[in-house]
Chains A and B, each alone.
Chain A
Amino acid sequence: MVGRNGTDGQTVNKDTHPLAEAPSPEVLRAQEARLEEAWKPPTGWRYWSEVNNSIVGIWYTALVLFYLLFGGVLALLMRIQLAVPGNTFLNPNLYAQVFTLHGSVMMFLFAIPIFEAVSILFLPQIMGARELPFPRLSAFGFWAFLIGGMFLCGSIFFNVAPSGGWFMYPPLTSRYQPGVGADMWLLGFSFIEVSAIAAAVELIVGVLKCRPPGMRIHLIPLYAWYVLVAGGMVLFAFPPLISGSLLLELERAFDWPFFDATRGGDPLLWQHLFWLFGHPEVYIIFLPSVALVAMIVPTFARTPIAGYKWIVLSAIGTGFLSFGLWVHHMFTTGLPGITLALFSAASQAVAIPTGVQLFCFIATVYVGRLRPSIPMLYVAGGLATFVIGGLTGVMVAVASFNFQAHDTHFVVAHLHSVLIGGTIFPVIAGTYYFFPLLNGKLLSEKLGRIAFWLLFCGFNITFLPMHFTGLRGMARRVYTYPAGMGLEQLNLVSSIGAFILAAGFGVLMWDILRPKGKGSDSPRNPWDAGSLEWLQEMPGKSWGVRSIPEIDSRYPLWDQPNFVRDVDEGRFFMPDAEEGKREMLVTSIIDAKPQQCLRVPGPSFITLISAIFLGGVFIFPTFKMYWSMAVSGVIALGCILYWLWQGSGVIPEKDTKFIGHGVTVPLYVSGPSSVGWWAMMITMLADITAFVSLLFGYFFYWTLHKDFPPASIAGPGVAWPVIGLLASLGSWALTILARRWNRDEKPTAFYAGMGLAVLLAVFGGYALIAGPQIAAMDPKVHVYTALVWLLAIWAVLHIAAGIVMQLYCVARRYAGRMTGKYDIDISNVTLYWHFVTITVAATVAVIAGFPLLR
């Protein structure tokens, strides 16, 4: 809906129609040449500075598939070891490294990132957009993922890989594994999790703000709904793990006793934080894969999806309920019966939305006319496999059954059915379906069919017997088993199956990588699909879509007449790049009304350089090289500031831009309509979740110990923390005022206010540290002292970042890069300070206020 009715001032439905006449061929060619120039990828070695989603997405996806193969080879090594009882192929230590790395690689380097990689690659096309709103952030995420992933995978070649299982339970990992393996896991994956959160921010803002005009919230492709939900889940699921990793690393590196029972700690806290991440993570993996199915099924059933709103219900419902399941991984840890009952109830409830979406797919196939195809073959195989995993999931969600099956191969069989059926098969279906969009080539139907049967049979031959070995008592994560327990034949069958499965992957990889000749052999829209991504020419252009269409339907290619022609002939919005800049359209959240023409930054090496030095911050402490870490951190900060300085909040040469069809939109927007504001908001939600996880630790210890905070240990007192809080509140208030003074063009008041805000922030940070410092609290003595220190340091680090941002705003204004009108920098910094204030207030309430209640 674009345009206004001038008579009564009411917004009315007035759809934009494509231009009746195409521009002349000369105009069209000139437009295309300008678009081409603006979006041209760099050549030579500079190719690696590209940030365009269509290229970074390919790198990302290829890397994820590489990690999948690496994890698969590790699995084969395990199956060789377990083929016969008493085997000596892998020694116990190496076996532990192999299963830990297999689980970790598959989860952190394949299953989660495949969703982000595929979304970065295709989400803009699925939504008819030219780009995602922060291309450099995508590129940065990719480089961080490459560095962190290689660091972890490489460790096994030096026999120093982590060996504590993919969930790293202390005290095994805190006290009994002195090598660097566990540190690599904790720090390396924290680095990768940061990049995952960055990608989630990008994708959420993409779905909310970068849709084409007319694509109202009830018309968006289901893929985008799933991305929105999964991205939101990343924001709340990953921070607990980052906080947990911080605690465990602090214990390993500095002997702060968070998990040491002799000093008031408790290993169970790790399990809570880990599974608070770990269970939602299963759905973070599963939902985007279902999203692929939701795109594929309507195409081959040749009918719109049945029950669109029911699928939205199941996506959002699953997203919420999945956060109430984490304790079902901890049924055997001796938690109160009532707690187990609560989590068992939620675990049963989540089956409802999970089932609803599957029924919607079945209904779609039922009402449509199904056309058999390779993608549908994989979808069907995947759903069948997933249902088996889902049913064994309902079994293990029953606490009493769980007590019997815990830590056996039954659980291994269950989780692989869920993950392979729920993720790998749909991803392969997606590979066959979307492959023509990459380079205009179709994959081979014959090879696809061979690979499917090898994978499907191989999977079942491998994992079906594990249900029985598990029920017969075969423990997981043990490098061998004795003869005579009835396990020999079943294990041998599993191992044979694993190689059949691997052969299936071999055929698939050959199909993807084999030379396919020049030119394109896929027609445009080869599957006759109705969704926007199939607008793409074969092979695609780097600009994405030729013009940004007006959307009237969930399946525009089916329902809107002459749609492809109109897009191609630039009859919709923004058919040109007059100023030679990379531009995309930002629209409103509910109804996708045009709000801004956003200029996105082009190729740059700064993303790679920033990722390298930020990587240093996580990699050096693994080897206790803290000075190198500090230097690397300072350089990373400098790189990121440089990146922001020249790439974000750029003041345009004119205020507005005409995008066609009588619509003129601003080139610069700040506040809640801008993508930057949303990115800050979403990032800080993740940040505050990490903080809440630390607070959870505090109260967790309180429920465990009758004497917490211990009467024998002096706390930080009340005075200093409260002074710190007051100073921070002052800094926050001055930042808000400075935003107004900047807007009112009162530079003197602005500079004075900001200067005072910085001073107050510095003093506030000092006062927060002074509390535990003056009370001489030793973090190594007891978990209480360690937690008070950690909370204080956490708050101070946030204040420190806030000071950098305040100074940044001062410098921006001084350099003329921020004015009263162009104030996105201080607008976002103010938003950041809201969150800092919440963090500091909660910290002071807990460390100074809570002890008073006793």
Chain B
Amino acid sequence: MTHETQHEAAEERQSLWLLVLSPSIWAAHFLASYAAAAVWCGAVEDRTSGVDTMRIGIVISGAAALACIGFIGRIGWRKFKLAGGEPPFDKDTAEDRHRFLGAATVLLSALSAVAIVYVCLSLLFVRNCL
């Protein structure tokens, strides 16, 4: 183990927050989409004006969310690819723990990305508030 990887994997530099960041971005985007739909289809005067703008807004913000998730996934991927080591990475070492946290971050980012794509797809097909 090199000095850098040892430093990289030290407990003080780790936290569980990275794991839940991507799903949290999904949650924030989902909540914002729900709120936007509630406002445009409810509070705004009638149920037709501006809906397309809202739909496009949700899709564009979805793309931005995907970019953020991609970035987090990349951080996870780098952790997972920490030099050396043999699968299945279940040894009692700081490096295997590091790889595990990285891999779990990647997987959760992928799931969050799929969930956001689902949301955006549904808005491409459903065009109005009715």
Contacts and interface: CB of A to CB of B under 8 A. Distances in A.
Contacts of B90: 218-219, 304, 308, 553-554
A320 B92 CA distance: 29
A353 B97 contact: no
A13 B89 CA distance: 16
B37 A338 contact: yes
B122 A341 contact: yes
Interface in B9-67: 10-11, 14-16, 19-20, 23-24, 26-27, 30, 33-35, 37-39, 41-43, 47, 51, 54-55
Contact of A345 (B6, B15, B91, B119): B119
B20 to A, nearest CB: 7
Interface of B, secondary structure class, is helix
Contact of B115 (A313, A338, A349, A706): A349
B126 A15 contact: no
A342 B108 contact: no
Contacts of B112: 317, 320
B55 A338 contact: yes
Contact of A342 (B43, B51, B89, B122): B122
Interface in B91-121: 91-94, 96-97, 100-101, 103-104, 107-108, 111-112, 114-115, 118-119, 121
A589 B93 CA distance: 15
Interface residues of A, number: 53
A254 B101 CA distance: 51
Nearest to A555: B90
B92 A551 contact: yes
B16 A337 contact: no
B37 A342 contact: yes
A337 B114 contact: no
Given A219-B90, A312-B104, A317-B108, A346 B16 contact: no
A316 B108 contact: yes
Contact of A338 (B7, B19, B89, B126): B126
B108 A324 contact: no
Interface residues of B, number: 55
Given A338-B37, A352-B111, A219 B123 contact: no
B102 to A, nearest CB: 10
Interface in A533-553: 551-553
A289 to B, nearest CB: 21
A703 B33 contact: no
B130 A336 contact: yes
Contact of B103 (A304, A309, A352): A309
Contacts of A13: 93-94
A214 interface: yes
Interface of B: 6-7, 10-11, 14-16, 19-20, 23-24, 26-27, 30, 33-35, 37-39, 41-43, 47, 51, 54-55, 89-94, 96-97, 100-101, 103-104, 107-108, 111-112, 114-115, 118-119, 121-123, 125-126, 128-130
Interface of A: 1, 10-13, 15, 214, 216-219, 304, 308-310, 312-313, 316-317, 319-321, 323-324, 336-342, 344-346, 348-349, 352-353, 551-554, 588-591, 593, 699-700, 702-704, 706
Given A337-B126, A338-B123, 12 more contacts: A13-B94, A216-B92, A316-B23, A320-B20, A323-B27, A324-B26, A342-B30, A345-B118, A345-B122, A551-B92, A699-B35, A704-B42
